[in-house]
Amino acid sequence: MNTDFRQRLTFDLARGELRDGATRYVMLREDSLMGLFQRLPGPVRTDAFKALAASVAESGARSAAHYSARDGDAADLLATIAATAAQLGWGVWRFSRTEAAELQLEVNNSPFAHAYGASADGVCAPITGMLVAVAAIVLGAPVQAEECVCASSGGGSCRFSARPRTP
């Protein structure tokens, strides 16, 4: 298990690329991304956050599947995801499982909440999307995930929950 994402990165300056194997990454200021959402009217913003979460869930599922195939068990996968999140600047992630077949995630120092600022609603859609991708593997079923508490609304840390979808 290689949880050091930074050692896997390659910088191809001639092509202007940053990659982890076949996956290309882009660095973007947190305030540039979240400034987009701040400029959208309420209902459009909500839809845009949902679309971003769905997009991250889809692309993140490919990364999570790759890590899962390489690392083996769920505990190793969660350790890799948590380590990679911190190395990507996505805050400090701590996963836990409940007896009710839920995967919970606490994130300290979310860049999305930090850049967005005060909000009555959760703003960490990318983290919700990645939780969907990871929880589907760990729980072995399609899941629904939600941001239960967001630091942008004074929660201190952001807390998320994922559980198998009900039919």
In this structure, what token pair is assigned to residue 77?
Answer: 């996968």
Q: What mean pLDDT comes out for the span 123-130?
A: 98
The fourth-level CATH superfamily of domain 31-164 is Trafficking protein particle complex subunit 3 (3.30.1380.20)
Q: What is the pLDDT of residues 74-119, one digit of tens each?
A: 999 999 999 999 999 999 999 999 888 899 999 999 999 999 999 9
Residues whose CB is less than 8 angstroms from the CB of residue 33 and which lie 6 or more positions away in sequence, other chains included? 112, 115
CB 142 within 8 A of CB 91: no
Q: Identify the residue whose tokens are 């505990």.
A: 75
d(CA 93, CA 122): 17
CA-to-CA separations, 63 to 1, 6, 25, in angstroms, rounded: 14, 15, 12
Which pLDDT score is estimated for 121? Answer: 94
Give residue limits of the domains in the chain: 31-164
CB 48 within 8 A of CB 37: yes
Which pLDDT score is estimated for 1? Answer: 58
Residues whose CB is less than 8 angstroms from the CB of residue 130 and which lie 6 or more positions away in sequence, other chains included? 56, 57, 60, 64, 81, 85, 90
Its pTM stands at: 0.94
Which pLDDT score is estimated for 2? Answer: 61
